Structure 1
Amino acid sequence: MKKDMKKLVSIVLTGIMCISLAGCAGNQEAKNPNPGGDSTEVTIKIMSWLADPVQSGIEKMNQEFMEEHPGVTIEYEAVTGDDYRTVLQTRFASGDGPDIFMNAGYSWLDTFQQYMSPITDEEWAQYLPEASKQRWGADGEYYGFPINLQSISYVYNKDMFEKAGISELPDTFEELQDACEKLEAIGVTPFGIPGGLTARLAHSFNVALGHHDDPTAFIQQLRSGEATCADDEAFNQWADFFEYTIQHSTDDVLTCDDDAIYTLFATEQVAMIQAGSWCESALKEINPDLDIGIIPMSINNNEDENFIAGDAADGFSIAENENTELSKELVAYWALSDSGVNIFKEYQMIPAMSNCKYDASELGQILEEADQYFKNGEYFGWYWYAFPDLTADLQFGAIMQSYISGSIDKQEMLDQFDLKIAELEAKSQQ
C-alpha cells in the first residue's frame, strides 16, 4: 500500500499545485467569441451539484464573462443532494440537457459520453492532472474539467481532544478506540454520523476500497466475481470499524443529515464527524471559534495504510450541441483568464489544475491540513463512481442503513454488498 501511494504521488502531485475554476495562468486571456459585440442572444445553461461557496465563485466569473460578451446569458443551476443524477439523466433524455454539467467520471462516462464533446485539444488541457485524465478519460479523449481537490476524513475538535487528554492523534484503529474511551470518560460522544444520507455512508464504504493497492482493479474483480467483499480482509476490517463507530455515536444516526451533524459538532456535542473539506464554512457559521483538524478514518492497525480520501472531486463536462464552442470559450475563461486569481483564496478551495500556485494556509483549517496529506501522498481516491450504475453508492449506503437499523448483521451487510454488485453488473450487460 505504501509503495502504491508513492506511485500515486508521482501521478497526482501535478494536480496539487494548480488551478481549475479560475485562471491563474499569468496574463493569458480567454478568447472572445463575440469580439465585435455581436448582439446575438445565446443562453448557456450550467447544471451542477455544487452550491455555495463554489457556486458564488463560478457565478462571479460568469458575470465577468457576460460583461465581455454582449448577448450571452449564463444560467447556473445547483441541484444538490441525491437528486442530481436523476434530474441530469431526465434532462438529456427529454432533449433539454445542459450545455455544461458536472460529471463524476468513471462509469458516468459510459452513461453520458454520447452527449459530451471532448476537451483533449483545448489549450487548458495541458494543465490537467493525471488523476483527472484517468477519471474523465475514455477512448483516448478527455471529457472533464476538474474544479478542486477535496478530502473526506474525520473532522475533529482540537479543544475537545485536548480536554480529553489525547496528546497524539490516532492513526490506527486501536489508537482511535483509545481516543474514544478518553472522550467518553469526560462525557463526550465521539462520533456524529450522517446516517440519513446514503451517499455520505458510501464515503465510509469507500475507505475499504482505498485499502487496496489498485482500487479500480479490485473493483473490476468485484464486478467479475473474482473477489468478494465478504472474503476481503480490508472489507472485514472496515466492517469492524464501522460497527465500532455506530456503537460510539449519537443515538439518532439514521435521522442525521449533514445539517444535523454540523450542528452537533459545532455546538460541541460530538468530537468527530465524518465529513468532507466542504463543511468548514458551514461549521464556522455556527461557531466561528471552532478549532478543527482532520484525521484518517483508520480501519486497521497499520498506520502506513490509513489515509484520508482525496480526489479531484468535481468536474465539468461540455455537451455537444449548438453552443459547444461558446461553452468551451467559457470554460477556457475559467481556466486561463486572470479574473479568478483570488477565487480559491476567497472561496477556500484547493485548485486541481497545474497552472496556478496557492497558499494552503489561506484556505481554512481543513484544507490546510488536507494539503499536507496530499503532498505526502497519504490519500486514496473516490472510487464509488467506478461501479456500473450512477446510483451504486446510494444503494451501498442503503445496505449500510439496514445494518444500522439492526435489520441485518455485519456478515449479512458484506454479503448484500456482493449481491448488489452482481446485480448492478448484470444490469450493465443488458
Structure 2
Amino acid sequence: MATRHLIPGAAVTAAAALALSACGGGTDPGGSADDGEPSGEITVITQRTDIVDTVFMDYKERFEAEYPDVTVEFEALTDYEGEIAVRMNTADYGDVLLIPNSVTPDQLGTYFEPLGTVEELSEKYRLVEEKAYDGQGYGVSITVNTQGLVYNKKVWEAAGITDLPTTPDEFLDDLQAVADSTDAVPYYTNYADGWPLSQWDGNRGAMGDPEYQNTHVAHSDTPWAADEWHGISDGLLFDIVANGLSEEDPTTTNWEESKTLLGSGEVATMLLGSWAITQMQQAAEDAGASADDIGYMPFPYQVDGTFHAQVAGDYKNAINVNSEHKAAARAWIEWFAEESGYAYDEGGISPLVDGPAPETLGDFDAAGVEYVEMTPAPAGQEAYESEVVNTAEIDLYGNIYRQELVDVARGAADGDKESFFAELNQRWADARAAVGE
C-alpha cells in the first residue's frame, strides 16, 4: 500500500474508530504553532514508502537550507491507517503526520494542534473545512484530487470504443467490448489489497450537487436505492463482477502489480483518484509502452448531459498536539504545501487557492467535466454521518463491505444484488433511527 492516496470522507469507519482513545490531548509541551522561531528536530510521518528515501530526501535538503535550525527525519508507514491508529493511543505519533480517516471531526482537537480558523486558512489553502471542527482548521492537504477511472487508451481503442460512456450501462457495454475484442482484463478490482475499493465512495460529486451528502446519504433511509449514489456506484461495481468483467480470482490481486498490468495493457480499467495517473504513466513507460497510453475518464454518469467530478483534499498534514516543536512542524506543513512541488509533481491539483493546474487532467478538460466541491456539513452536524456509519457498522469509506459485495457478485457468498443492498439499507435506516436527526 505504499502509494495509497485517499479522498477522505466526512467521517470514520466503525472498526477504525474503535482503535482510538482520547489520550492524545491535555498537554501542550510545545506551546502554540505560532510561538517562536522554527527550531529543533521534527519527525514527519508519511505513507509514501516508495519515495521517502528519494524524493523526500530532496525535500529535506531544500527545507533545511531554508530553516537551518530545524532537522527533519521521516518515518514511512506501509499500513498507514492501521499503524498510525495504534500509535495515536500514545503521545508518540511524530510531530507532523497525516490525519487518518479514523479521527472523527469532534476528535480533531484531541489529537491535533489547530492551525487557525477555517476562514483565515481558506484565504490560502483549498478544502480546509474537510478537517475542521467548530470553526478551527487542523490540516493542510498534501494535494487535491478529483475522481474518475484510469484506463489504457490503446486497449479501449482496440475494442472499437470511440466515445466516453455516459451511463453505467454504456460502461458495462464498453467493458464487454474489451472482453470480446482484446486479451485484456476489462476491469481490475484490487480486491486483495482492499483499500482501492474505498475509492468508489469518493465519486459522490458525479451527482452534480454540492449539497448531495447533506441532503442524501446519511439523511436517507435507502442510500443503496437504484437512484441514490451508493446504489448507482456500488451497483455498477456489482454488475462488473457479476458479468465476469473483472479478474478471474480477486483474492490474488496485487496493487503494485496492477500498475504494471494497466500500463502494459493487460488490464484495461481501474477506478482510482487522479493521484494514480502519474503512477500509471510511469508504469507504462517501465513496461516499454508510452505514458500517452494512459487516459482518465469521468465516472459514467451525467446530469443534464454533463459529467461532474468531485474535488477533494487528499491526506492532510497536521501537527501532533503533543509535539515539542510546533513552530518547526508548522513551518514544514506550510513549506510542503507552498514550495515542495509535491502536488504538481504527483499530477494533483494544488492545495493552494492560487496554485498551478496539473497537466494530467487534460482528458477531463476535453470531456467538459465540471468539478464539484462538496459543501461541508452544517454547524452541529459535522459528525452526524460518522455516527450513522459507526452505528450501522458499515465501513462506508473503507473496503470491507465492498469486498463482501464482490464476493456475493462472483458467487463466493450467498445472496444477490437486491438482497445485499436491502440488508445495507435496513442497517442504515436502523442506525439513523438510533442516532436521530
TM-score by length of 1: 0.73
Give the Cα separation in 1 of the matches to 2:123 and 2:202. Answer: 30
Give the Cα separation in 2 of the matches to 1:108 and 1:179. Answer: 39
For residue 397 of structure 1, what is the aligned residue in structure 2? 402
Aligned to 2:269, the other structure's residue is in SS state strand
For residue 350 of structure 1, what is the aligned residue in structure 2? 349
For residue 110 of structure 1, what is the aligned residue in structure 2? 106
Give the Cα separation in 2 of the matches to 1:125 and 1:413. Answer: 41
For residue 279 of structure 2, what is the aligned residue in structure 1? 281
For residue 128 of structure 2, what is the aligned residue in structure 1? 133
1:64 is displaced (CA, Å) by 2.2
For residue 12 of structure 2, what is the aligned residue in structure 1? none
Aligned to 1:174, the other structure's residue is in SS state helix
Asked whether 1:85 is paired with 2:99, we answer no
The 1:173/1:50 distance shift into structure 2, 3 A limit, reads same
For residue 191 of structure 2, what is the aligned residue in structure 1? 195
The 1:181/1:347 distance shift into structure 2, 3 A limit, reads closer
For residue 324 of structure 1, what is the aligned residue in structure 2? 326
For residue 264 of structure 1, what is the aligned residue in structure 2? 261
Match of 1:228 among 222, 230, 244: 222
Tell me if structure 1 keeps the 8 A contact 2:70–2:328. no
Give the Cα separation in 1 of the matches to 2:306 and 2:373. Answer: 10
Give the Cα separation in 2 of the matches to 1:120 and 1:310. Answer: 23
Give the Cα separation in 1 of the matches to 2:57 and 2:141. Answer: 17
5+ residue gaps in structure 1?
1-29, 35-39
Asked whether 1:254 is paired with 2:261, we answer no
Asked whether 1:417 is paired with 2:424, we answer yes
Which structure shows the bigger proportion of residues in helix conformation?
1
For residue 217 of structure 1, what is the aligned residue in structure 2? 214
For residue 3 of structure 1, what is the aligned residue in structure 2? none
Give the Cα separation in 1 of the matches to 2:260 and 2:249. Answer: 13
Aligned to 2:272, the other structure's residue is in SS state strand
For residue 295 of structure 2, what is the aligned residue in structure 1? 293
Q: Given residue 312 of structure 2, which amino acid in structure 1 is its aligned partner?
A: D
Identity of matched residues, % = 18
For residue 15 of structure 1, what is the aligned residue in structure 2? none
Q: Given residue 60 of structure 1, which amino acid in structure 2 is its aligned partner?
A: D
Aligned to 2:88, the other structure's residue is in SS state helix
Give the Cα separation in 1 of the matches to 2:274 and 2:249. Answer: 23
Give the Cα separation in 2 of the matches to 1:117 and 1:143. Answer: 6
Tell me if structure 1 keeps the 8 A contact 2:190–2:253. yes
Tell me if structure 2 keeps the 8 A contact 1:396–1:417. no
For residue 3 of structure 2, what is the aligned residue in structure 1? none
Aligned to 2:186, the other structure's residue is in SS state strand
Choose 302-311 or 239-248, whichever is displaced more: 302-311
For residue 21 of structure 2, what is the aligned residue in structure 1? none
Aligned to 2:399, the other structure's residue is in SS state helix
Aligned to 1:351, the other structure's residue is in SS state coil
Structure with higher RCO (Cα < 8 A, 6+ apart): 1
Choose 319-328 or 61-70, whichever is displaced more: 61-70
Q: How many residues are aligned here?
A: 376
Tell me if structure 2 keeps the 8 A contact 1:403–1:409. yes
Give the Cα separation in 2 of the matches to 1:212 and 1:261. Answer: 30
Tell me if structure 2 keeps the 8 A contact 1:191–1:271. yes
Q: Given residue 250 of structure 1, which amino acid in structure 2 is its aligned partner?
A: E
1:133 is displaced (CA, Å) by 2.8
Tell me if structure 2 keeps the 8 A contact 1:32–1:69. no
Asked whether 1:244 is paired with 2:214, we answer no
1:381 is displaced (CA, Å) by 5.8
Match of 1:377 among 370, 381, 385: 370
Choose 51-60 or 108-117, whichever is displaced more: 51-60
For residue 13 of structure 2, what is the aligned residue in structure 1? none
For residue 46 of structure 1, what is the aligned residue in structure 2? 44
Choose 90-99 or 64-73, whichever is displaced more: 64-73
Tell me if structure 1 keeps the 8 A contact 2:207–2:303. no
TM-score by length of 2: 0.72
Q: Deviations over 1:159-197 (max 9, x none)?
A: 222222212222222332332343233234321221223
Q: Given residue 316 of structure 1, which amino acid in structure 2 is its aligned partner?
A: N
Tell me if structure 2 keeps the 8 A contact 1:318–1:324. yes
Q: Deviations over 1:201-239 (max 9, x none)?
A: 2222444685373232146635xxx42234452243334
Q: Deviations over 1:216-268 (max 9, x none)?
A: 2146635xxx4223445224333442232112122122321322332322232
1:329 is displaced (CA, Å) by 2.1
Tell me if structure 1 keeps the 8 A contact 2:221–2:425. no
The 1:309/1:242 distance shift into structure 2, 3 A limit, reads same
1:350 is displaced (CA, Å) by 2.6
5+ residue gaps in structure 2?
1-33, 377-382
Give the Cα separation in 1 of the matches to 2:146 and 2:168. Answer: 20
Q: Given residue 397 of structure 1, which amino acid in structure 2 is its aligned partner?
A: R
Give the Cα separation in 2 of the matches to 1:372 and 1:31. Answer: 47
